[in-house]
Chain A
Amino acid sequence: MKGYTGKVLFIDLSKGSLEEKQIPDEVYEQFLSGVGLGVYILYNHIPTGADPLGPDNMLGFVSGLLTGTGSLVTGRWMAVCKSPLTGGWGDANCGGTFSPAIKQCGYDGIFFKGISEKPIYLLIDDDGIKLEDAAAVWGRDTVETENYLEEKHRGKKKPAVAVIGLAAEKLSLISGICNDRGRIAARSGCGAVVGSKKLKAVVLCSSRIIECVDREQMRSLSKDYATKVKKTKLPGFLSGGMLPLIGKMMGKMKVMVALDGMMTLIPTLKKWGNPMSNSLGVTSGDLPIKNWGGSVIDYNRSHYKHLNPDLITRREFKSYSCYSCIIGCGGICKIDDIADGVFAETHKPEYETCVSFGGLLMNKDLESIFYIIELLNRAGMDSISAGNTVAYAIECYENSLLSKDDTDGLELTWGNTRAITELIQKMITRDGIGNLLADGVRAAVQRIGPNSARYAMHTGG
Chain B
Amino acid sequence: MQIIVYLPPYLKSSHADERGFVTIEEGATLKDLFELLGVPFPLGTVHLCRVNYEKAKLNRTLNERDMVSFFSLISGE
Q: Are B69 and A260 in contact (CB under 8 A)?
A: yes
Residue of A nearest to B54 (CB): A231
Instruction: Provide the residues of chain B in CB contact with A259, threshold 8 Å.
Output: 6, 8, 72, 75
Q: Judge whether B40 is part of the interface by a CB distance below 8 angstroms.
A: no
Q: How many A-B residue pairs have CB under 8 A?
A: 63
Q: Judge whether A338 is part of the interface by a CB distance below 8 angstroms.
A: no
Bitwise, B45-61 to A at CB < 8 A (1) or not (0) is 00110100110000000
In Å, the complex CA distance between A260 and B20 comes to: 11
In Å, the complex CA distance between A359 and B67 comes to: 39
Q: Judge whether A221 is part of the interface by a CB distance below 8 angstroms.
A: no
- A253-B53 in contact given A259-B8, A260-B6, A262-B69 (Cβ < 8 Å): no
Instruction: Provide the residues of chain A in CB contact with B34, threshold 8 Å.
Output: none
Bitwise, A239-277 to B at CB < 8 A (1) or not (0) is 000010010011101111111101110001000000000
Smallest Cβ distance from A398 to chain B, in angstroms? 31
In terms of DSSP, what is the predominant structure of the interface of chain A?
Answer: loop
Q: Are A257 and B53 in contact (CB under 8 A)?
A: no
In Å, the complex CA distance between A260 and B71 comes to: 8
Q: Are A232 and B9 in contact (CB under 8 A)?
A: no
**Size bracket of the B interface:** 20 to 34
- A254-B50 in contact given A259-B72, A263-B70 (Cβ < 8 Å): no
Bitwise, A265-303 to B at CB < 8 A (1) or not (0) is 000100000000000100000000000000000000000
Q: Judge whether A24 is part of the interface by a CB distance below 8 angstroms.
A: no
Q: Are A250 and B47 in contact (CB under 8 A)?
A: no
Bitwise, A214-255 to B at CB < 8 A (1) or not (0) is 000000000000001001101100000001001001110111
Q: Are A263 and B75 in contact (CB under 8 A)?
A: no
Q: Are B73 and A268 in contact (CB under 8 A)?
A: yes
Instruction: Provide the residues of chain B in CB contact with A268, threshold 8 Å.
Output: 73
Q: Are A262 and B73 in contact (CB under 8 A)?
A: no
Residue of A nearest to B47 (CB): A235
Interface residue tally for chain A (C-beta within 8 Å): 23
Q: Judge whether B15 is part of the interface by a CB distance below 8 angstroms.
A: no
Contact partner, A263, options B12, B20, B53, B74, Cβ 8 Å: B53
Q: Are B73 and A255 in contact (CB under 8 A)?
A: no
Q: Are A253 and B71 in contact (CB under 8 A)?
A: no
Residue of A nearest to B68 (CB): A260
Instruction: Provide the residues of chain A in CB contact with B30, threshold 8 Å.
Output: none
Contact partner, B71, options A251, A257, A263, A280, Cβ 8 Å: A263
Residue of A nearest to B48 (CB): A235
In Å, the complex CA distance between A253 and B77 comes to: 6
Q: Are A257 and B47 in contact (CB under 8 A)?
A: no
In Å, the complex CA distance between A243 and B74 comes to: 10
Instruction: Provide the residues of chain A in CB contact with B67, threshold 8 Å.
Output: 260
In Å, the complex CA distance between A235 and B69 comes to: 14
Smallest Cβ distance from A266 to chain B, in angstroms? 10
Q: Are A257 and B73 in contact (CB under 8 A)?
A: no
In Å, the complex CA distance between A235 and B76 comes to: 20
Q: Are A255 and B9 in contact (CB under 8 A)?
A: yes
In Å, the complex CA distance between A32 and B72 comes to: 34
Instruction: Provide the residues of chain B in CB contact with A249, threshold 8 Å.
Output: 74
Which of B48, B67, B71, B73 has the most CB atoms of chain A within a 10 A radius of its CB? B73
Q: Are A257 and B48 in contact (CB under 8 A)?
A: no
Q: Are A253 and B69 in contact (CB under 8 A)?
A: no
In Å, the complex CA distance between A257 and B54 comes to: 22
In Å, the complex CA distance between A251 and B12 comes to: 17
Q: Are B54 and A263 in contact (CB under 8 A)?
A: no
In Å, the complex CA distance between A259 and B47 comes to: 17
In Å, the complex CA distance between A235 and B47 comes to: 8
Residue of B nearest to A262 (CB): B53
Instruction: Provide the residues of chain B in CB contact with A250, threshold 8 Å.
Output: 73-77
Residue of B nearest to A285 (CB): B77
Q: What 4 A-B pairs come out closest when comparing CB atoms?
A: A260-B6, A253-B76, A260-B69, A256-B76
Q: Can you show 24 pairs from A to B with CB atoms below 8 A apart?
A: A228-B53, A231-B53, A234-B71, A235-B47, A235-B71, A243-B73, A250-B75, A253-B9, A253-B76, A253-B77, A257-B7, A257-B8, A257-B9, A257-B12, A257-B76, A258-B20, A259-B75, A260-B6, A260-B67, A260-B69, A262-B53, A263-B69, A264-B71, A280-B73
Which A residues contact B (CB, under 8 angstroms)? 228, 231-232, 234-235, 243, 246, 249-251, 253-260, 262-264, 268, 280
Known: A256-B76, A259-B6. 17 other contacts (CB 8 A): A228-B53, A235-B71, A249-B74, A250-B74, A253-B74, A253-B75, A253-B76, A255-B9, A257-B7, A257-B9, A257-B12, A257-B76, A258-B6, A259-B75, A260-B69, A260-B70, A263-B6
